[in-house]
Each structure stands twice: as C-alpha cells, then as structure tokens.
C-alpha cells in the first residue's frame, strides 16, 4: 500500500507520521514484511506446496490505545485517513473500490479479530507506512493485514498465534476485500525466517525452513505492468481448479499425482480444455516445489534454475497468467544467469515482478542486460531489487 515513499524506513516513517498527525507519543510499533515466492504459484489455494521468503520491504504500524472504541487510521504514504467504530458492525469504506482500497485490509482484519475475540473492543490511533511496491505481486496487502493483526493482538492482549493472525488476514482478503487468495502470503509474512526460504504445506500449515545457499542472491525485477487480482482473473482460475478437483473426485488438486493426471488428461481435455490446462499447471507445480526443496538442500542451483524455468513456462502456457513484458524480463535475466540459476514470474500474475536466484557475482550482469533491453522494447523502466530472506512479523 505505497504510492509515495519517504526516505525513512517504514518503521521510522510510521512513528514520525504518528507524532505529526496525532501529536502524542505512540506506544506500539509493529512491522510485517512483504514476500517473494521462489516457486509454487497458485498452488496455495489448491492445498498444495509453496516456497516463498519474506523480504526486506514491508509495512510498519505505529499506534496507541484510545479510551473509546474508535479506530483512527492514517496511511502516511497516501496521506489518507480512515475512521471506524468497534462498537458498530464494521463495513467497507464507501470508497473501498477506489482510492481507499487499503482500508479494506485494515477493517477486514479488525472485523475478523473481533469475530474470533469478542472481548476486543479497544479503540486505537494508528499511522501506517510501507515500502512494498503497490500492485507488484510482492504482497503489500498481506504485509498490511499481518501488521494490523499483530497490532490488534498486542493492543488487546489477545491469545492469538502468528499462524492465527495470518489466517485472519487471509479471511479478510477473501471475504471482506473479495480476492480468493490462498494462505501463502499471510503465512510467510507472519512466519518468515532470516536467511531461509520457507516450504509451506498449505493444507497442514506445516513449514520447513530451507536455507538460501551461501553466496546466492534473490533478485526481484518489477515490470511496472500493474495487476489487480480482485478483478476476475484470479477468482476464475480458482474456480477452474475447483472444477478440475471435482472431475478427479478429490478435495483439492494437491491430491492428484502427475501419473493420475496424465492417465485422465485426454478425458478432461475433451470435457474442458481450459480446466485441463489449469490442472496440469497445479499438479506439476506442486512436484516442482518438492523437487526444488531437495535441489536447494544439496546446493544444486542449476537444477533449481531448470525447475524455475519450467514453472514459468507452465504459468505462461497452461495457467496463462504472464504478460509479454514479464516473459521478456525472464528471458533477459536467464540470458545473463546462464545455467547457474533461474528466473520466473512471481506473484498472482498479469504483471508485477519476476524473481531470479543466482550467484551474487551474476547480479551486475542481470541488472545490465535488463537495463540495456527492457525499456527499449516495452517503453517501461524496470525497478531492480536485491533482497534478503528476512524475519516475519515483529514488534519493535
């Protein structure tokens, strides 16, 4: 949820904004990171496997308890205000579909925290600041949801775990905002570990920390093609996956092996070719995540690169969520990386970012190849980030 960035890190900017706007000292400061998904796209709402990491860009909330039940919220990057009352039913902001879309993430989390913890009736003043690029596929929304959830948990002394906070964030996004996302974004924002990727089983919620190999860089390149997942494409992909699960007679596509899929592929294709393509992506992507975990553990970056390449091709051809600009960025990154790592689209799709994993000595070659060619072909100027796998939500 960021449009204009201050030069201060979000943690300092949120505190400064609080003092400037409310004219007293804050009591609480929480911070939740955005994320980049290394592999495992759209598998989360299919009860499958993903492997993201939290990044060193995120959202901070500085705030203090009030004596009444009013929530006054200032989004410092947007210079916008929101106000609602915890003693009344929490509904969407009148302009939640427009400029005030960010209010849905805050209101939705507070609403579902109240549903789970009816004793939560405490008002608060909050100032929010973030530096996750908006509509980039790096989960600015999840960072805001998890930060809001953690803030409320501390404010009310609520017995909520970080996993529960993550799931409340997902519920807010699904039911209040209307995007049928899975639970990956909120879980990694809540549970991220420094210097590690996190393999998440999105059904059991079991996690396994997978170290980022020594000397390996996580690069993110923003295409500046904006996406908006609440618009129908994301939700239609989810429906298609559910149709495929119904065809196979299983709870979710996570339960279909590659062998089973291949056995019935022709039959499903005859029934609905689009649904068959969507299912193919999910079934093969789940296996790619498991294979990538093993490859990373043995330090086989070449194999990881092959799997990332296959993942991208599958998102382009079977799930059909890439755009030409993203495909071109992946091609440019891969040219510079060669066989020592990989690149792929990351996030929900239809724009946003690519992620690349490669030895640190490849950073400049990747940066230069993209800088030399991307803008010439697309008319858009990329933004290049080198990120570090970071801790999840924390109290500062």
Check the annotation: does 43 bind a ligand. Answer: yes
Return d(Cα 265, Cα 18) in angstroms, integer.
Answer: 57
User: Are the beta carbons of 369 and 356 closer than 8 angstroms?
Assistant: no
What are 234's two structure tokens? 């994301």
Contact at 8 Å (CB) between 130 and 144?
yes
**What is d(CA 345, CA 36) in angstroms, rounded to the nearest whole number?**
10
Q: Which of 82, 185, 255, 300 is catalytic?
A: 185
CA 79 centroid distance within chain: 24
DSSP-assigned letters across all residues of 332-375: HHHHHHTTS-EEEEESSSSSSEEEEEEEGGGHHHHHHHHHHHHH
Residues 275 and 244 sit within 8 Å (Cβ to Cβ): yes
Q: Which residue has the tokens 């294709």?
A: 269
CA distance 210 to 54: 13
Q: Does the annotation flag 141 for ligand binding? A: yes
Catalytic site residue 327? no
139 annotated as belonging to a binding site for a ligand: yes
CA pair distance 337, 288, nearest whole angstrom? 20
Ligand-binding site membership of 314 (annotated): no
User: Annotated binding residue at 122?
Assistant: no
Strand 70-75 vs strand 124-130: parallel, antiparallel, or unpaired? parallel
| 382 known member of a binding site | no
User: Taking a C-beta distance cutoff of 8 angstroms, is the pair 346, 197 a contact?
Assistant: no
| CB distance 258 to 287 below 8 Å | yes
Contacts of 300 (CB under 8 A, 6+ apart): none
Was 234 annotated as part of a binding site?
A: yes
The distance of Cα 328 from the centroid of its chain, to the nearest Å, equals: 22
Determine if residue 140 is labeled as part of a ligand binding site: yes
Is residue 137 part of an annotated ligand binding site? yes
Residue 198, beta-bridge partner list: 209
Q: Is 160 annotated as a binding residue?
A: no
Q: Is 136 annotated as a binding residue?
A: yes
Give binding residues as ranges: 41-44, 135-141, 173, 234
Please list the active-site residues: 185
- Known binding-site residues for ATP equal 135-141
Annotated binding residues for Mg(2+), written as ranges, equal 141, 173
Pick out the residues of the known binding site for substrate: 41-44, 234
């Amino acid at each position: 949820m960021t449009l204009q960035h201050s030069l201060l890190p979000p943690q300092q900017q949120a505190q400064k904004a609080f003092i400037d706007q409310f004219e007293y000292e804050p009591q609480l400061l929480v911070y939740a990171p955005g994320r980049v998904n290394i592999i495992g796209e759209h598998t989360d709402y299919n009860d499958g496997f993903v492997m993201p990491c939290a990044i060193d860009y995120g959202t901070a909330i500085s705030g203090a308890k009030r004596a009444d039940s009013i929530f006054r919220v200032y989004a410092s990057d947007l210079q916008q205000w929101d106000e609602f009352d915890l003693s009344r039913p929490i509904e969407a902001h009148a302009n939640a579909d427009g400029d005030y879309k960010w209010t849905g993430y805050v209101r939705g989390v507070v609403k579902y925290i109240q549903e789970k913890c009816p004793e939560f009736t405490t008002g608060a003043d909050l100032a929010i600041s973030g530096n996750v690029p908006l509509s980039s596929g790096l989960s600015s929304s999840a960072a805001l949801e998890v930060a809001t959830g953690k803030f409320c948990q501390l404010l009310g002394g609520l017995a909520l775990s970080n996993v529960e906070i993550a799931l409340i964030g997902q519920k807010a996004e699904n039911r209040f905002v209307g995007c049928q996302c899975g639970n990956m974004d909120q879980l990694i924002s809540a549970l991220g570990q420094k210097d590690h990727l996190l393999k998440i089983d999105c059904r059991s919620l079991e996690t396994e920390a997978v170290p980022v190999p020594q000397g390996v860089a996580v690069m993110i390149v923003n295409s500046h093609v904006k996406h908006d997942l609440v618009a129908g494409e994301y939700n239609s992909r989810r429906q298609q996956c559910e149709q495929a699960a119904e065809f196979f007679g299983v709870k979710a596509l996570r339960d279909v092996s590659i062998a089973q899929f291949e056995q019935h592929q022709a039959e499903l294709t005859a029934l609905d070719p689009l649904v068959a393509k969507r299912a193919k992506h999910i079934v093969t992507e789940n296996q790619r995540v498991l294979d990538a975990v093993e490859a990373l553990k043995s330090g086989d970056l070449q194999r990881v690169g092959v799997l990332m390449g296959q993942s991208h091709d599958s998102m382009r051809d079977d799930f059909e969520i890439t755009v030409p600009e993203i495909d071109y960025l992946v091609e440019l990154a891969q040219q510079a990386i060669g066989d020592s790592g990989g690149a792929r689209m990351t996030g929900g799709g239809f724009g946003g970012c690519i992620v690349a994993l490669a030895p640190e000595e490849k950073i400049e070659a990747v940066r230069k190849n993209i800088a030399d060619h991307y803008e010439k072909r697309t008319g858009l100027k990329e933004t290049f980030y080198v990120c570090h796998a970071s801790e999840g939500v924390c109290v500062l």
